[in-house]
Structure 1
Amino acid sequence: MAPPVADRVAELTGRAVAALAPLGSSHAWELYRAELADGADVFVKALPDGTPDGEFAGLFATEAWGLEWLGGSFGSPVPEVLGADERTLVLSWVSERPPTPEAAERFGHQLAGMHATPAEHFGAPRDGYIGPLPLDNTPRDSWPEFYAEQRLLPYLARATDRGVLTPADVRVIERAIDAIGDLPGAPEPPARIHGDLWSGNVIWQDDGAVIVDPAAHGGHREADLAMLALFGLPYLDRVRDGYNEAFPLAAGWRGRIALHQLHPLLVHACLFGAAYRITALNAAQAVLGEV
């Protein structure tokens, strides 16, 4: 049996745990705020007791790698990784502040700095997860091939197997995937991207933001900005203003938002079912210019 969460946190940090407060759960793991004996607070993700060994293999080590990799870029706004093993991840505690226009512009600068740091390939040196779903990060030199074959087709197949999409839906989405090679705009090198940057993964600070729960890889930088728009982010226009001031987006980026949103929408269809069927279909139709 795995040792209790407090014991695992103590082993990973080298500091005793004075208190452990549950914060609920996310997907298949539990969340905690731990107070260490020296008074520091930390954030903890842990697989619950009873999770079979090997399930979600490498999940927390991959998240730790992603945060450290993103943190190696200029001004990257990520928490500090304090320890990780197969069942536990410990991060520095980040207190949230109310969003402001000034913080949004600063966040845009931070995100631009992160994206300006190159990645070696599209993909990553290790496979990952997006939420609880596996993510194929096999390195590629072509973004259209990477996006079609490793970000869209696997989740289209999974959503179809779940019965979320009709055969007619699948044909529309497949046509959008077939069109990707003609749509990405001017070629861009792979950037270090968060990969799952919805608004819930943005923790506002007085001078910008901290981003958490990455599906980090070398990708197209427009993907992070498109996902920020998908579920609504306060002061998104100010984020874009700050971003464009530091690292201007390529011409035509607005017309590619639906293209980059198709991946997270298919992931959500896999995770949450038919509630995302129409939204994913609408995104595919927008890619094809049919809406």
Structure 2
Amino acid sequence: MQFVKERQDAPAGFFEVEAAGLRWLAVPGGVPAVQPLDVSPTRIVLPRLTLARPTPEAAEQFGRRLAITHAAGAEYFGQPPAGWTDDGYIGNARLPHPRQPIESWAAFYAKYRLEPYVREAYDAGVFDDSARQLFDRVCGRLADDAPEPPSRLHGDLWSGNVLWTVDGAHLIDPAAHGGHRETDLAMLSLFGLPHLDRVLAAYDEVLPLADGWEGRVGLHQLHPLLVHVVLFGGSYVGRAVGVAARYG
């Protein structure tokens, strides 16, 4: 059985970069990523999975496998998935990728994951001057407190993009790129994931998390919150500003 996603007005590369991301995430021993059967500028064809209820055991398996996926690494922060050289997408929003290595995660996160969306929200009148200035301060204070090599990220790892089957979790709809592994983990907690505590504990056993990671969860959630501000506005404005205030 197949699952077809189709969009006649898809922007350039919309489905192609999704397919490239799914292939890049197919790491031996990592979380299985649903592999494309066919892709074109207007559609992507995927195998249809039979879903099951998530169990604590499946959550632990997911955590261990996600650590392996992350450990596969990337060449630099912001690297697009192998076989892709343009920008990507997160949901319907553009996801900029640097075209060459950038000096640090902090520089990458400010320039490519915060500033473009703050600017778009401000230009659209969704953010006022105080919100823009707050995010400017956050960007100015970013630092590599726990420097790590770039990980291979799903990039949009909210609970809806983790499908549970009798064989465990599978990944769909990536915004794949090289980034900080705490970003994927922070995304899992943003909208809730079943048995998240078991996922994190199992992950930490395989790939121990750096000291203080809990205090950086909100910082890593700022990018998806800004994406939601740009796409939906509304209550996400207050939520994004509230989280940013803790770091700015």
Which band: TM-score by shorter chain? over 0.9
Question: Retained in 2: the 8 A contact 1:102–1:207?
Answer: no
Alpha-carbon offset, residue 57 of structure 1 = 0.2
Query: Per-residue deviation at 1:206?
Result: 3.0
Contact 2:31–2:169 under 8 Å retained in 1: no
Task: Indicate the SS of the match to 2:246.
Answer: helix
Other-structure match for 2:56:
101
User: Residue 118 of structure 2 aligns with which residue?
Assistant: 156
1:260 CA displacement: 0.3
CA distance in 1 between partners of 2:34 and 2:185 (Å):
20
Per the TM alignment, residue 205 of structure 1 is displaced from its structure 2 partner at its CA by 2.3
Q: How far has the Cα of 1:207 moved from its partner? A: 4.1
Please give the residue correspondences for 1:272-287 in structure 2 after superposition, counting only pairs within 5 Å. Answer: 272-287=232-247
Contact 1:104 1:238 in 2 (8 A): yes
Matching residue's letter, 2:165: Q
Shift of the alpha carbon at 1:279? 0.7
Q: Distance in 2 between matches of 1:62 and 1:124?
A: 13
- Correspondence for 2:101: 140
Counterpart position of 1:60: 15
Residue 26 of structure 1 aligns with which residue? none
Aligned with residue 77 of structure 1, among 21, 27, 32: 32
1:73 shift after superposition? 5.0
The structure with the largest strand share of the pair is 1
Question: Within 2, Cα distance between the matches of 1:265 and 1:110?
Answer: 26
From 248, 261, 284, give the equivalent of 2:221: 261
Q: Once the two structures are superposed, what CA deviation does each residue of 1:188-225 show, in whole Å capped at 9, x if it has no partner? A: 00110000111111111234311110000000000000
* Structure 1 counterpart of 2:162, from 174, 184, 202: 202
Hey, what does 1:234 align to over in structure 2? 194
Which whole-Å CA distance do the structure 1 matches of 2:232 and 2:154 have between them?
A: 21
Contact 2:26/2:33 (<8 A) preserved: yes
Task: Structure 1 unaligned segments of length 5 or more: list them.
Answer: 1-40
Query: Contact 2:31–2:62 at 8 Å: present in 1 too?
Result: no
In 1, Cα distance between equivalents of 2:110 and 2:29: 29
**What is the CA-CA distance between 1:242 and the residue it aligns to?**
1.0
Task: Provide the rounded CA distance (Å) in 2 between the counterparts of 1:109 and 1:92.
Answer: 24
Which amino acid in the other structure matches residue 47 of structure 1? R
Instruction: Name the SS for the 1:287 alignment partner.
Output: coil
Letter in 1 for 2:101: R
The structure having more radius of gyration, on CA atoms, is 1
Cα deviation code 1:157-210 (max 9, x no counterpart) = 1111222212111111111111112xx422100110000111111111234311
Give the TM-score taking structure 2 as reference length.
Answer: 0.93
SS at structure 1 position matched to 2:25: helix
* Whole-angstrom distance in 2 between the partners of 1:73 and 1:166: 46
**In the comparison of the two structures, how many residue pairs are matched?**
241
In the TM superposition, residue 274 of structure 1 has moved relative to its aligned partner by 2.3
Gaps in structure 2 of 5+ consecutive residues: none
Identical amino acids, percent of aligned pairs:
51
> What is the TM-score of this pair, normalised by structure 1?
0.80
